[in-house]
Structures are given as C-alpha cells and as structure tokens.
Amino acid sequence: MSGDLLQELDALEREAERELATAQTRAETEAWYSRYLGRKGALTQALRNLGSLPPDLRPQVGRRANRLKQRLEQALKERQEAIRQAEIQDRLAAEKVDVTLPGRRPSVGRLHPTTRTLREIYRIFGQMGFQIYDAPEVETDEYNFTLLNIPEGHPARDMWDTFYTTTPGVILRTHTSPGQIHAMREYAPEPIRVILPGKCYRHEDVTARAEMMFYQVEGLAVGRKITFADLKGVLVNFVDQMFGQGRRLRFRKSYFPFTEPSVEVDVDCVLCAGQGCRVCKYTGWLEILGAGMVNPVVLRNGGYDPARFSGFAFGMGPERIAMLRYGVDDIRYFYTNDVRFLEQIG
Ligand code: FA5
C-alpha cells in the first residue's frame, strides 16, 4: 500500500516536472499549480490517501510528500522567474533603440521674406540718414485723410476702400502716410528724415498683386531747399542697393493729394525680364512706390512753414519688392501661412 503511494508520488513528480518545463506563460504556470498543488490538485488528492496507511508508514510517506510539495513549489518559483526574465528580454529586444541611427534634424526657423525685406530697407535708408519712426495702425479719419489734404467728400477718398471700426472716425490706416503728420508734429520746425514702416489695411479685391493687409514703408524728408532731385537721388540709390546696379527705373506722373508734383515709380519686372507676365500685368514694369514733393498744405498741417521748408515723401510696398527679389508671382503666398512657401525662400 505504502509502496503504491510512493510510486504514485514518484510518477506525479516526473509528470509535474515535465509539464512545468513546457509552461511558457504565467497563466500556464498558474494552471499547472491548480493541477498539482491546488486544493483539487493531484498532490493534494494523493495526500488524502495518507490517512488510510498503517500508522507506522505514515511519517515516511508524509515526509516524502512534503518534500515533493516543497520541491514542486520551488520549481514553480524558478519557472515563473525564468518566464519573467524571458518577458523582460523580449521587451528589451522589441523596444531596442539603435543609438547608431542618425538623429532627427531639428527644423530651423527663418525670417519671413517680408521681415527680411523690411530689414534690408531699414539698412539702406539708415545709411542715408533716415530714422525709423513708429506710427499707429489704428488711425483717425482726420490723420488718414483730412490732414493729408483729402477733406471729407473729396473724390480722392475713393482711392482707398477703408475698414472702419465701431468707433466713429476711427479706422485702420489705408496707408502709412498719416505717420507723416505724427512725425512732423513731433519734430517741427527741425528738419527730419524718417521712414515709417508698418501694416496697412484696404478693403480690396485680393489678387496676385494686392492683399487686404500689407506693409508699407513711408519715407519723409523735410528741410530747407529739398528738391525733386533729392527724391530721385534717394530712390535711385535705394533701387541700386536693393536690386543691384543696372535695374531700370521709371518715374510716371501721378496724383496724390498730399504731394505735388506726384509720381509713381516702377522697376523693370525681374520675373519676366520686362517681357510681360501676370505679375506685371503684361507691361514689363512693376510699380513699387508712390512719391512726390510734400504738398504745402500738408507741411503746414505738420507744423512747417511752406515758405521756408520743403520736403519729399514716398510710400513703398515691401511685399512687391520681396516678390521681385525672391521671384514670387503671387502676393497671397505671404500671409496664408503655408510653411512650404517659407521653406522655398531660403
Ligand atoms: C499710397 O498708399 C500713398 N500713400 C503712397 C505715397 C506716399 C505717395 C507718400 C506719395 C507720397 P498707393 O495706394 O499707390 O499709394 O500704394 C503705395 C504702394 O503700396 C504701392 O506702390 C504698392 O507697392 C503698395 N500697395 C498698395 N496697395 C497694395 C495692396 N493691396 N497689396 C500690396 N501692396 C500694396
């Protein structure tokens, strides 16, 4: 009887060990535990028969059974540890980082073409002794029009379609020219030489050449004996430096209420080499600025005596200049926030 039980325990040990060796997961080891060591497990069942043995044999078989139980529990622990280690190894292999791979290149930002063009404009006019003067973007009707010799009801107001605010008389400036009045009133009767950069707003039909929001750089020089030749010299020097020597410049007579005489200045279109394209409206020329001698009415509004002072002024569009410099054929690219546009202009 005892021999049977001992044999049975031997067989059970061999079988349990063989099975445990094939367990690959924690769940399989747990199933193995209930099969052999659990409440209804094979070893537990075998030990139930211990009571039916003659009393003198019980200790020997009991010891054997206890040792077996300890051995199996120990084997289970080892197997579970081995599985845990294998899992860790698998995870490490799966999550392996190849430190020899090339790194990801961080994308480097760059300045917007308008900003770069503006800075170049500041540099060129800085060399000619012009200072930057900051004037407001939100203006009054009086500064944007009236003080610039465009009284209410004057047909010239039709030249600029305006964004109004909910406050009567307060508008978004349609050009940087109202800054002329601010600068003159601050410095009169001293001579001045300033540029006034900033954003302007017009209710325009947006096209390849015209945006609703765009920059202008205004220039203003007031002093004694300033003539149209000074204006021309300054602009020729500017264009030479901005586009390189040899660009052709064209002065066309024009009309602005705040200058007299007035001109519009074109450079030959670098996109089509003067052949005619969509950007230059098939004329071969691209208008970059309006200019003229400051109207005496405006000088007086700024605090200068027109009998003793004269001046010139101009207003240019830096996006139009950037289009020429970088070969951009549509102004809408500037502010639609498509990063591919910025990446192309290196
Ligand atoms: C004016 O705004 C005048 N204040 C310029 C001026 C200043 C004349 C001082 C005389 C003395 P005009 O509307 O033509 O003029 O605009 C001047 C320049 O701004 C244009 O030559 C062009 O380069 C740019 N510009 C005008 N409208 C737009 C627009 N919708 N989108 C982009 N650029 C524009």
Ligand 1: atom nearest CA of 320 is: 23
Which amino acid makes up residue 23? A
Beta bridge partners of residue 213, listed in sequence order: 201
Cα-atom radius of gyration of the chain, to the nearest Å? 45
* Residue-wise pLDDT tens digits, 6-51: 888 888 899 999 999 999 999 999 999 999 999 888 888 888 877 8
Query: Does residue 192 register a pLDDT over 60?
Result: yes
Per-residue pLDDT, averaged over 234-243, amounts to: 94
Instruction: List CB contacts of 206: < 8 A, sequence separation 6 or more.
Output: 212, 332
Query: Does residue 112 register a pLDDT over 50?
Result: yes
Best probe residue, ligand 1, of 143, 235, 238, 289 (max atoms within 8 Å of C-beta): 289
Bond preceding residue 261 cis, omega within 30 of 0: yes
Query: Does residue 271 register a pLDDT over 80?
Result: no
Output the pLDDT for position 65. 87
Best probe residue, ligand 1, of 118, 211, 214 (max atoms within 8 Å of C-beta): 214
Q: Determine which residue's CA is closest to atom 2 belonging to ligand 1.
A: 175
Best probe residue, ligand 1, of 114, 145, 266, 320 (max atoms within 8 Å of C-beta): 320
- CA 339 – CA 229 distance, rounded (Å): 43
- Does the C-beta of 317 come closer than 6 Å to ligand 1? yes
Give the pLDDT band (50/70/90) at residue 1. Answer: very low
Q: Determine which residue's CA is closest to atom 24 belonging to ligand 1.
A: 317
Which of the two residues, 220 and 273, has the higher pLDDT score? 220
Q: In 3-state terms, what secondary structure has residue 165? A: coil
Contact 161, 202 (CB under 8 A): yes
Strands 310-316 and 285-294, how do they pair? Answer: antiparallel
pTM, full prediction: 0.73
Mean pLDDT across the chain, nearest whole number? 92
Determine what percent of the chain is predicted with pLDDT higher than 90: 65
User: How many whole angstroms from 216 Cα to the centroid of ligand 1?
Assistant: 7
Output the pLDDT for position 2. 56
Q: Determine which residue's CA is closest to atom 25 belonging to ligand 1.
A: 317
**Domain 113-345 belongs to what topology?**
BirA Bifunctional Protein; domain 2 (3.30.930)
Which of the two residues, 305 and 57, has the higher pLDDT score? 305
Which of 151-160, 228-237, 261-270 reaches the highest mean pLDDT? 228-237
* Residue 346: other Cβ atoms inside 10 A: 6
Determine what percent of the chain is predicted with pLDDT higher than 70: 99
List the one residue out of 317, 84, 286, 80 whose CA is nearest residue 214: 317
* Residue-wise pLDDT tens digits, 117-168: 999 999 999 999 999 999 999 999 999 999 999 999 888 888 888 998 999 9
- Does the C-beta of 270 come closer than 6 Å to ligand 1? no
List the one residue out of 189, 178, 202, 195 whose CA is nearest residue 307: 189
Any idea what DSSP says for residue 145?
T
- CA 297 – CA 288 distance, rounded (Å): 25
Output the pLDDT for position 215. 98
Give the pLDDT band (50/70/90) at residue 293. Answer: very high
User: How many whole angstroms from 254 Cα to the centroid of ligand 1?
Assistant: 12
- CA 142 – CA 71 distance, rounded (Å): 101
Q: Determine which residue's CA is closest to atom 30 belonging to ligand 1.
A: 210
- Does the C-beta of 287 come closer than 6 Å to ligand 1? yes
List the one residue out of 227, 230, 226, 202 whose CA is nearest residue 216: 202
Which residue ranges make up each domain of the chain? 2-94, 113-345
Query: Does residue 3 register a pLDDT over 70?
Result: no
Ligand 1: atom nearest CA of 216 is: 19
* Residue-wise pLDDT tens digits, 49-90: 778 888 888 888 888 888 999 999 999 999 999 999 999 999
Query: Does residue 282 register a pLDDT over 60?
Result: yes
- Does the C-beta of 288 come closer than 6 Å to ligand 1? yes
Q: Kindly report the backbone phi and psi dihedral angles of residue 285, in degrees, each rounded to the nearest multiple of 5, phi listed first.
A: -125, 145
Ligand 1: atom nearest CA of 290 is: 8
Bond preceding residue 189 cis, omega within 30 of 0: yes
Which of the two residues, 171 and 248, has the higher pLDDT score? 171
